[in-house]
């Protein structure tokens, strides 16, 4: 069987592989790279369990060939936490009980991460539309929507918080502006 050499960056790490042209991206991630947080729920592009980011865009990795990911940046659920600190969406799904079996959760969170990047303050309707390509067989969507709303608030607060609070420290005035580089 002919193979093709590809180079992809996954969660900041560069990987090279010789793959069959028919190999799906989701199988490259799961079987070759061991990133099993990306799930396969249908293989027919319906459920969204396989959602990852490709060059910052949400994509269903069961509908993309590994060779199509050559030269691209992929982010998976394994790559969104900050060390031991959960991503605000991961924390919000925990806080709001936005999951039961958890099968849909990685794809749901990757889709919601992309959604909040596009629209930091979505209405409930916009959230429901934004995750309409992701199916949950367990929870209904009420707590999932609440989790995305919580994370949206957390992320907006993070964006609006100044890097350094204005005021005085040890009698010295400090500014809310970030210090100039150099």
Alpha-helix runs per DSSP H in 42-172: 88-95, 105-118, 124-130, 142-160
Q: Report, in Å, the least distance between residue 38 CB and ligand FES.
A: 9
Q: Is 43 in the site for ligand FES (CB under 6 A)?
A: yes
* CA distances from residue 164 to 85, 155, 156, 177, 182 in whole angstroms, order as listed: 21, 17, 17, 7, 17
- Which of residues 25, 49, 66, 151 is near ligand FES by CB under 6 A? 49
Q: Which is closer to ligand FES, CB of 129 or CB of 177? A: 129
Q: Is 24 in the site for ligand FES (CB under 6 A)?
A: no
CA distance 96 to 104: 15
User: By CB under 6 A, which span of 40-48, 89-97, 119-127, 150-158 interacts with ligand FES?
Assistant: 40-48
Q: Measured in whole angstroms, how far is the alpha carbon of residue 13 from the centre of its chain?
A: 16
- Which of residues 4, 40, 128, 153 is near ligand FES by CB under 6 A? 40
Q: Which is closer to ligand FES, CB of 139 or CB of 150? A: 139
Q: Which of residues 70-129 bind ligand FES (CB under 6 A)?
A: 99-105
Q: Which is closer to ligand FES, CB of 134 or CB of 150? A: 134
* CA distances from residue 42 to 61, 73, 123, 166 in whole angstroms, order as listed: 11, 24, 29, 52
Q: Is 28 in the site for ligand FES (CB under 6 A)?
A: no
- Which of residues 5, 13, 22, 46 is near ligand FES by CB under 6 A? 46
Q: Report, in Å, the least distance between residue 111 CB and ligand FES.
A: 11
Q: Is 8 in the site for ligand FES (CB under 6 A)?
A: no
Report residue 63 as tokens. Answer: 């509908």
2 by DSSP, 3-state: which?
coil
Alpha-helix runs per DSSP H in the chain: 25-27, 88-95, 105-118, 124-130, 142-160
* CA distances from residue 155 to 17, 148, 151 in whole angstroms, order as listed: 36, 10, 6
Q: Which residues bind ligand FES (CB under 6 A)?
A: 40-43, 45-50, 60, 62, 99-105, 136-139
């Amino acid at each position: 069987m002919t193979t093709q050499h590809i180079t992809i960056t996954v969660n900041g790490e560069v990987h090279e592989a010789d793959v069959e042209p028919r190999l799906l991206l989701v199988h490259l991630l799961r079987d070759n790279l061991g990133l099993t947080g990306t799930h396969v729920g249908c293989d027919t592009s319906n459920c969204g369990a396989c959602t990852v980011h490709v060059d910052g865009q949400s994509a269903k990795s069961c509908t993309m060939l590994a060779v199509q990911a050559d030269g691209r940046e992929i982010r998976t659920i394994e790559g969104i936490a900050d060390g031991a600190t959960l991503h605000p969406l991961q924390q919000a799904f925990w806080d709001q009980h936005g999951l039961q079996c958890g099968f849909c959760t990685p794809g749901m969170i990757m889709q919601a991460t992309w959604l909040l990047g596009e629209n930091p303050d979505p209405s409930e309707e916009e959230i429901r539309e934004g995750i309409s390509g992701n199916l949950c067989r367990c929870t209904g969507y009420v707590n999932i929507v609440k989790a995305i709303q919580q994370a949206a608030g957390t992320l907006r607060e993070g964006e609006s918080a100044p890097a350094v609070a204005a005021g005085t420290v040890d009698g010295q005035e400090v500014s809310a502006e970030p210090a100039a580089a150099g």
